[in-house]
Amino acid sequence: MNPPKPTASSAAGVVARFLKARGVERIFALCGGHIMPLWMRADAEGIRIVDVRDERAAVHMAHAHAELTGKLGVALVTAGPGLTNAITGIANAHVSRAPVLVLSGVVPTPQENRGGLQDMVHTDLVRTITRYARTVREPALVLQELDEAVSRAFGQGGEPGPVYLDFPTDTLRAEVALRVQLEEHFRPKPPALLLPDPKAVDAAVELLWSARRPLVITGRGARGAGPELRRFLDKLGAVYLDTGESRGLVPDEHPSVVAATRGTVMTEADVVVTVGRRLDFQLAFGSPAVFGGARFVRIADAASELRDNRRGEVELFASPAAALAALSSAASDRPSAVDRDWASGLRKRHLERAEKLRATMASTPDGSDGRMHPNRLLAALQAKLPRDAIVVADGGDFLSFARVGLSSRSYLDPGPFGCIGVGVPFGIAASLAFPDRLVLVATGDGSFGFNAIELDTAVRHRAPAVFVVANNGAWQIEVHDQASTYGRVAGTRLQFADHAGMARAFGMHAERVERAEDLPAAIDRAFVRRPALLDVVVTPEAVSADAKSGLAWVPDLQPLAAWDDAERAWRQG
């Protein structure tokens, strides 16, 4: 007997209608019998299904969608291996605190624990990397579980991040009584506004407006607070660093931006303000070994960004935009005590270094192997990037070069989880969400391989991204670590594979480029014929800042060798 086709008021139908009501226009998914009722109902509701080739990529896509749009990202994967494949994506969203909803199926309830096909307790597997992980067996509870899961994903009353729900297939097929389909659970929930404690605002103003060398650092939680942040920087006259999580909030032209003096400014500041930013490894865990005697002001609406590693002398538990606006208005006309020479000196040094980088990138000499330096490729790409381009960077050495060599208002990379392989799926999701903006994926060849099969997805779904592979025939940052630390290279070389040939096999415009002078025209063609791929041969001899800093060999106390030395010396007193 064929199963009945699920109706709009089956549990599957209710899930689909919920997604639709919450503004979900597309889901990233890979099919399977356990989730088919939900799949077909989502399709019936007009939700676009971006069908991928590996569940990991589906979650990466949902993650990029969430980060770039600020809306919920949704992935739908099947039971058993569908879910286990998705785990890297879920873990990455967990570390990045991205609002992603992952939906799956489990064996029909009568087969549970009997050795059914694809039977596995998924919730136990994902519990430590999600904010909410439940199996929903009772059709009448489907709606309220979804409502709660989405609230948790956005960090309403907790940390933001991925959430997980699965449903036995028989539950998905079951009818949900109309009476229990409460309208309140479908209704979109606006983000909660947390206002800062006025006493904490006054204390922060006192500390900040008497600081001589204040530094502001932003992260995930500051997204969307751009106008309030810029006004606050203008009033206080502080210097400013963004991080990979918050690129583009403050334009390069703003006088507070001193990105190219990062190391210096971190040691010189007397007050450090973190806005929606964890003091994780990228910020030396906030250690006094690096930040000296600096005092901290912490502003965040999520606990991890409010008080990880270092207490703030003032902690503002509030929506960052509201907190920054409150600081600016409480300071009123009070003159700031900022050492203007210090701030302008840093700005000058930043501009000189940025200019020098721009000038030298395009003329960085080839390696002794005659292959071009990755900076030549990045300079050629930067020269063609429209102002509103979205850049996705991925790789080891190449990520290190691309992070500083490409500038754009919107940027994604493997993030604090170091999740290489995200480039292709992130780029696809970005280009589907913003079809009118140029999406550039700049990826190392090793990183490219993980999700290279998704080029097929890009072609089928007409996701107009441009994929540029820096082909150095190796996991080069690891090669460099092995050669310099161990004097031997083992298991880290790849081949100069024909990635363009692979892209063409999926019907994508693709070219291999071996000479820098051929780049501008090839880039023009790729931009016009999107989706497109350029397989650019670069020298493995280029040693990146990340390779030199010790990041690759993972020192004991701190992520970078210089910080590790400083930490050791500081601990010894």
Ligand X SMILES: Cc1ncc(C[n+]2csc(CCOP(=O)(O)OP(=O)(O)O)c2C)c(N)n1
Q: State the residues that interact with ligand X by CB under 6 A.
A: 395-398, 418, 420-421, 444-447, 470, 472, 474-478
Q: In the structure encoding, which two tokens stand for residue 463, read together? A: 């996701």
Name which of 6 and 449 has its Cβ closer to ligand X: 449
305 binds, among Mg ion, ligand X, none (CB under 5 to 8 A by kind): none
- At closest approach, how far in Å is the CB of 494 from ligand X? 7
Name which of 350 and 371 has its Cβ closer to ligand X: 371
Residues 65 and 24: beta-carbon distance below 8 Å: no
Question: Which residue in 346, 352, 325 sits closest to 239, CA to CA?
Answer: 346
447 binds, among Mg ion, ligand X, none (CB under 5 to 8 A by kind): ligand X
CA distances from 333 to 327, 329, 349, 441 (A): 12, 9, 29, 45
Torsion of CA 403, 419, 304, 202, to 10 degrees: 10
Name which of 36 and 61 has its Cβ closer to ligand X: 61
Q: In the structure encoding, which two tokens stand for residue 88, read together? A: 């890297």
Name which of 20 and 548 has its Cβ closer to ligand X: 548
- At closest approach, how far in Å is the CB of 547 from ligand X? 8
- Among this protein's residues, is 517 annotated catalytic? no
Q: How many CB atoms lie within 10 A of CB 573?
A: 4
Piece of the chain touching Mg ion by CB under 5 A; list 16-24, 319-327, 362-370, 444-452: 444-452
Query: What residues does 217 pair with on adjacent strands?
Result: 241, 274
Distance of CA 240 to the CA centre of its chain: 21
- At closest approach, how far in Å is the CB of 469 from Mg ion? 9
170 binds, among Mg ion, ligand X, none (CB under 5 to 8 A by kind): none
- At closest approach, how far in Å is the CB of 443 from ligand X? 6
Using CB under 5 A as the binding criterion, the count of chain residues that bind Mg ion stands at 6
Piece of the chain touching Mg ion by CB under 5 A; list 101-109, 138-146, 276-284, 445-453: 445-453
Helix axis angle, 198-208 relative to 320-331, nearest 10°? 60
- At closest approach, how far in Å is the CB of 383 from Mg ion? 23
Name which of 221 and 396 has its Cβ closer to ligand X: 396
Question: What whole-number distance in Å separates Cα of residue 489 and Cα of residue 483?
Answer: 6
Name which of 6 and 446 has its Cβ closer to ligand X: 446
CA distances from 274 to 8, 81, 200, 245, 250 (A): 47, 40, 15, 13, 15
Interface with Mg ion, residue 135, by CB under 5 A: no
- At closest approach, how far in Å is the CB of 367 from ligand X? 13
201 binds, among ligand X, Mg ion, none (CB under 5 to 8 A by kind): none
Q: In the structure encoding, which two tokens stand for residue 363, read together? A: 């003329």
Catalytic residue, chosen from 148, 478, 511, 567, is: 478
Q: In the structure encoding, which two tokens stand for residue 264, read together? A: 């210096």
Residue type for position 554: V
User: Footprint of Mg ion on residues 136-155 (CB under 5 A)?
Assistant: none
- At closest approach, how far in Å is the CB of 326 from ligand X? 39
CA distances from 277 to 205, 272, 293, 419, 559 (A): 19, 12, 20, 19, 18
Interface with Mg ion, residue 445, by CB under 5 A: yes
Summarize the chain as % helix, strand, coil (round to 5). 50, 15, 35
451 binds, among ligand X, Mg ion, none (CB under 5 to 8 A by kind): none
Interface with Mg ion, residue 472, by CB under 5 A: yes
Interface with Mg ion, residue 444, by CB under 5 A: yes
Residues 73 and 97: beta-carbon distance below 8 Å: no
What spatial distance separates the first Cα and last Cα of the chain, rounded to whole Å? 77
Residue type for position 129: I
The per-residue DSSP string of 471-516 comes to E-SB-HHHHHHIIIIIS---S-B-----HHHHHHHTT-EEEEE-SG
Backbone angles phi, psi at 410, to 5 degrees: -120, 135
Residues 33 and 3: beta-carbon distance below 8 Å: no
Name which of 245 and 535 has its Cβ closer to Mg ion: 535
501 binds, among Mg ion, ligand X, none (CB under 5 to 8 A by kind): none
Name which of 246 and 476 has its Cβ closer to ligand X: 476
Name which of 273 and 420 has its Cβ closer to ligand X: 420
Q: In the structure encoding, which two tokens stand for residue 322, read together? A: 């509201």
- At closest approach, how far in Å is the CB of 385 from ligand X? 20
Question: What whole-number distance in Å separates Cα of residue 72 and Cα of residue 429?
Answer: 13
245 binds, among ligand X, Mg ion, none (CB under 5 to 8 A by kind): none
- At closest approach, how far in Å is the CB of 538 from ligand X? 8
Piece of the chain touching Mg ion by CB under 5 A; list 123-131, 260-268, 296-304, 467-475: 467-475
DSSP, collapsed to helix, strand or coil, labels residue 163 as strand
> Nearest residue to Mg ion, using CB?
444
> Nearest residue to ligand X, using CB?
444
**Site track 192-211 with Mg ion (rule: CB under 5 A), x = hit:** --------------------
- Report the interface residues with Mg ion, using CB under 5 A: 444-446, 472, 474, 476
Q: Provide the annotated active-site residues.
A: 478
